[in-house]
Chain A
Amino acid sequence: MQYQTFKSALSCLLLTVVAVSGNSMIQAAEPPAPPIDFLAEDVPGDAGTAIDLSWTLSPDDQPDLKPRKVLRYVIYRKEADNQESKYENIGEPTYQVNTFRDSNCKTGTPYLYQIEAVGQEGLTSAPVVIKEPVIASLQWFNQQREWFAVFVVLICGSVIFFIRLARSGKELKVRKIAGLEAINDAVGRATEMGRSCLFVPGIQDINDIQTVAGITVLAQVAETTADYRATLEVPTSRSLVMTTARDTVEAAYLAAGRPDEYNEDDIYYITDEQFGYVASVTGKMVRDKPAACFYMGAFYAESLILAETGNSVGAIQVAGTAMPTQLPFFVAACDFTLIGEEFFAASAYLSGEPQQLGSLKGQDFGKLIGGLLLIAGCIIMTLSSIQTQGATPENQKPTYLQSASNYIIQNILGKGGFK
Chain B
Amino acid sequence: MLDFLQHLDRRWIFLLMFIAVAVPLIMGTTFPEVPSDQVMAVFEAVDNLPDGSNVVMALDYDPASQGELQPMASAFTRHCAIKKHNIYFMTLWPQGISMIQNSIGILQDEYPETYKGKYGTKYVNLGFRAGNEGVIKLVVEDLKKSYSTDIHGTNLDNIPLTKNLKNIQQVDLLCNVSAGYPGSQEWVLYGSSPFDIPTVVGCTGVQAPIMLPYIPDQLTGMLAAIKGAAEYEQAIINAYPELESNPNAKEGLVRMGPQLVAHLLLISLILLGNVIYIWERKQGLHQ
Residues of A at the B interface (CB closer than 8 Å) are 4, 7, 15, 18, 66-68, 89-94, 99-101, 103-104, 274-275, 300-301, 312, 324-326
In the bound complex, what is the Cα–Cα distance between A99 and B164 (angstroms)? Answer: 17
24 intermolecular pairs with C-beta atoms under 8 Å apart: A4-B216, A7-B216, A15-B44, A15-B48, A18-B48, A67-B50, A68-B50, A89-B164, A92-B166, A92-B170, A93-B169, A93-B170, A100-B169, A101-B141, A101-B169, A103-B142, A275-B64, A300-B180, A300-B181, A301-B64, A301-B180, A301-B206, A324-B209, A325-B206
Q: Mark B198-224, 1 if CB is under 8 A from A, else 0.
A: 000000001101100000100000000
Query: A326 — nearest CB in chain B belongs to which residue?
Result: B206
B111 lies within 8 A of chain A by Cβ: no
Beyond A300-B180, A301-B64, A301-B206, whether A91 also contacts B170 by CB under 8 A is yes
In the bound complex, what is the Cα–Cα distance between A137 and B44 (angstroms)? Answer: 41
In the bound complex, what is the Cα–Cα distance between A354 and B156 (angstroms)? Answer: 58
Q: Mark B27-56, 1 if CB is under 8 A from A, else 0.
A: 000000000000000001000101001100
In chain B, residues 151-201, which have Cβ atoms closer than 8 Å to a Cβ of chain A?
A: 164, 166-167, 169-172, 180-181, 195-196
Q: Mark B51-65, 1 if CB is under 8 A from A, else 0.
A: 001100000000011
B10 lies within 8 A of chain A by Cβ: yes
Q: Name B53's contact: one of A66, A90, A94, A274 (CB within 8 Å).
A: A94
B220 to chain A, nearest CB (A): 10
Query: B206 — nearest CB in chain A belongs to which residue?
Result: A325
Q: Do the beta carbons of A101 and B195 come within 8 Å of each other?
A: yes
A322 to chain B, nearest CB (A): 13
Which residues of A are found within 8 Å of B209, using beta-carbon distances?
Answer: 324-325
Which residues of A are found within 8 Å of B48, using beta-carbon distances?
Answer: 15, 18
Beyond A325-B207, A325-B210, whether A92 also contacts B172 by CB under 8 A is no
Query: A96 — nearest CB in chain B belongs to which residue?
Result: B172
Which residues of A are found within 8 Å of B65, using beta-carbon distances?
Answer: 301
Which residues of B are found within 8 Å of A7, using beta-carbon distances?
Answer: 216
Which residues of A are found within 8 Å of B171, using beta-carbon distances?
Answer: 94
In the bound complex, what is the Cα–Cα distance between A90 and B54 (angstroms)? Answer: 18
Q: Do the beta carbons of B210 and A324 come within 8 Å of each other?
A: yes
In the bound complex, what is the Cα–Cα distance between A275 and B171 (angstroms)? Answer: 35
Which residues of B are found within 8 Å of A66, using beta-carbon distances?
Answer: 50
Q: Name A104's contact: one of B44, B54, B142, B180 (CB within 8 Å).
A: B142
By CB atoms of chain A within 10 A, which of B44, B50, B166, B172 has the most?
A: B166
In the bound complex, what is the Cα–Cα distance between A312 and B14 (angstroms)? Answer: 13
In the bound complex, what is the Cα–Cα distance between A4 and B217 (angstroms)? Answer: 9
In chain B, residues 251-276, which have Cβ atoms closer than 8 Å to a Cβ of chain A?
A: none
Which residues of B are found within 8 Å of A274, using beta-carbon distances?
Answer: 64
In the bound complex, what is the Cα–Cα distance between A91 and B140 (angstroms)? Answer: 13
In the bound complex, what is the Cα–Cα distance between A89 and B163 (angstroms)? Answer: 11
In the bound complex, what is the Cα–Cα distance between A94 and B171 (angstroms)? Answer: 7
Which residues of B are found within 8 Å of A99, using beta-carbon distances?
Answer: 196
A43 to chain B, nearest CB (A): 11
Query: B48 — nearest CB in chain A belongs to which residue?
Result: A18
Which residues of A are found within 8 Å of B169, using beta-carbon distances?
Answer: 93, 100-101
Q: Name A91's contact: one of B166, B195, B210 (CB within 8 Å).
A: B166
Which residues of B are found within 8 Å of A103, using beta-carbon distances?
Answer: 141-142, 167
Known: A66-B50, A90-B166. 19 other contacts (CB 8 A): A18-B48, A91-B166, A91-B167, A91-B170, A93-B169, A94-B170, A94-B171, A94-B172, A101-B141, A101-B169, A103-B142, A103-B167, A104-B142, A274-B64, A275-B64, A300-B180, A300-B181, A301-B64, A324-B209
